[in-house]
Structures are given as structure tokens and as C-alpha cells.
Amino acid sequence: MELEKLEIMKEKGKELQREVRQRTIGYITAGFGLVAGLAWNDAIRSSIEYFLPADGRESIWAKFIYAFVITLVLIIVTVYLLKIFASKEKNENK
């Protein structure tokens, strides 16, 4: 009986370690993604300012269009990833 409890505790410990490792990798990846996103944001913003100087109305519209396009891309990618993860969860639960 004591041996069974010890085995259960060991298994729970391993599960906890896996979960911590997965979450840590996820947070690190998210951090790098944020840095890359900020770099791209700066590059695109600089391009808009270079091609459409700040003295014109075009630069304001370009920034709104840029924000709209980025939002659409993020929505599409998020929906796609959620579908992938949902299908993987269904396959794992079978």
C-alpha cells in the first residue's frame, strides 16, 4: 500500500516537472515572439515614415491600414492554431 502511494507520488512529480518545463518553454518562446514582433513593428513603421512622410495624411491612413492588416493576420493565425490544438486534444483523448 505504501509502495503504491510512493509510485503515485513519483508519477505526479514527473507530470508536474513536464508541465513546468512545457510552460517555461512556452513563456520563453512568447518572449522571443514579442521581441521579434516589436522589431517588425519598428521596421514597418520606419518604412511607412520613409515612403509616406509624416507631413501628409497618407501616413495616418497607412498606419491604420497596417494595424488593420496585422489584426486580421493575428485573428486568422489564432483561429488556425486553436483548431490545430483542439484536434490534437481530441486525438489524445481517444
User: Would you kindly state where each structural domain of the chain is located, as residue ranges?
Assistant: 1-51, 52-94
What angle (nearest 5°) sits at the alpha carbon of residue 70, between those of residues 65 and 74?
A: 150
> pTM for this structure?
0.58
Beta strands (DSSP E) in the chain are none
pLDDT tens sequence across 53-90: 766 667 778 888 888 998 999 899 989 988 888 887 77
Whole-angstrom Cα distance, residue 48 to residue 66? 9
d(CA 28, CA 59): 34
| Residue type (1 letter), 6 | L
Q: What is the pLDDT of residue 31?
A: 94
